[in-house]
Amino acid sequence: MTRSLRILYIALFLAILLALGLWSLRSFIGFTTSKETTVLNGHWTKALETHYDEEFPIKRLGTNLWAALDYKVFNEGRPGVVLGKDQWLYTDEEFDAVANGEQNEADNLALIQGVRDQLKKQGTQLVLAIIPAKTRLYPEHIGDNRPATLHTDLYQQFHAQVSQAGIFAPDLLAPLEIAKNNGQVFLRTDTHWTPMGAEVVAQQLGAAISRQTPLDGEPQTFITEAKATEPYKGDLTTFLPLDPLFSNLLPKPDDLQQRSTNPAEPEADSGDALFADNQVAVGLVGTSYSANPNWNFAGALKQALHSDVVNYAEDGHGPILPMLKYLQTDAFKSSPPQVLIWEFPERYLPAHNDLAEFDPQWIAELKKARDPQQNLAQNANNSESPSRAQN
């Protein structure tokens, strides 16, 4: 290489580097931090460095290129997603084997029974809403992927175990399988159900509760209104970091028609009155299936039950932690509901829960200090006994 070509090469490299650096400065437009993040404590500098690193064009280019290679050549995404056929995406939690899965199942089943007993002391009827996995409802789109053996009969086993424990848990799989013939009950690019799927489950729960434990008080009328259908990029697309350079490779967005449910005749301060009079009829605890307003599950329950529903569900913490938190609230202690619906996706039964924030003695009392392995063995023995199964 001649001296002039070397100079040209160096100049071109510096020019590209300078251009990318100037381009990345656009990311500072609108950059803000919290009041606690100041220059004096060094947090502001760290926040600035992190923000710049995330927005640097070369890093974004590399991330997009690598994601596009994984997606198109190897048919893979980032850990967290499994790519099915026909642009269907699934959470890998419904496929992967779980470390200590049997032990976790036993621990969680013991907690579920303890929660039932704790609610019963307050006069509250537990209704366990076990949500079937997306892979169970749409196995035709998973392609060559196969869930781990642990997940094969997890829904049926879960139901059998809680039934043996005397816990009321209406079957939700059959009505969802029937409903899928009339429309999607789960989103194609998201972990969660559609508003239609949520409504089907709410109607099934409403019918079951009316037979098992009719609600006190006068029935209320609720009206559900559907909004315009809009494109919706599901949460599983975040594991395909193809934006902005290869966004055209992403699966087509879902069509989401959100719904909203309101009383036919609104009453002022009706929520405050319920708490003041200790007349909470129905409570709801669960995961983002219940907490996220996109699915309108709480609204669908109101309409199906002809009753107000107080929603204590939380995003991102699974079903068990929000329930344990709820049991310690003043709302539960002072205004226990007549019925508490616990929305519990089946895939969380074998999952480990970090309960460090709770009093270990209280957790042990909820589990009734029983050996989880003994509980599991007892459940297995019960399932093998024909006479016990008939009772």
- State whether the Cα torsion 49-55-56-62 is positive or negative: positive
Give the span between the Cα atoms of 349 and 383, in whole angstroms. Answer: 18
Strand partners, 90: 82
Question: Is 71 within 8 Å of 249 (Cβ atoms)?
Answer: yes
Cβ within 8 Å of residue 100, ≥6 positions away: 352
Which member of 151, 235, 254, 288 is catalytic?
288
- Each residue of 311-348: b (16+ CB within 10 Å) or e? bbbbeebbbbbbbbbbbeeeebeebbbbbbbbbbbbbb
Sequential DSSP letters for 110-129: HHHHHHHHHHHHTT-EEEEE
Give the span between the Cα atoms of 114 and 166, in whole angstroms. Answer: 12
Which member of 151, 159, 192, 317 is catalytic?
192
Question: Is 347 within 8 Å of 309 (Cβ atoms)?
Answer: no
Which member of 107, 159, 190, 307 is catalytic?
190
Cβ within 8 Å of residue 181, ≥6 positions away: none
Angstrom CA distances, 233 to 199, 224, 316, 382, stand at 21, 24, 18, 45
Active-site residue flag, 306: no
Active-site residue flag, 192: yes
Give the span between the Cα atoms of 194 and 205, in whole angstroms. Answer: 17
Active-site residue flag, 352: no
Question: Is 200 within 8 Å of 185 (Cβ atoms)?
Answer: yes
Angstrom CA distances, 11 to 3, 19, 23, 364, stand at 12, 12, 18, 69
Hey, which residues are catalytic here? 190, 192, 288
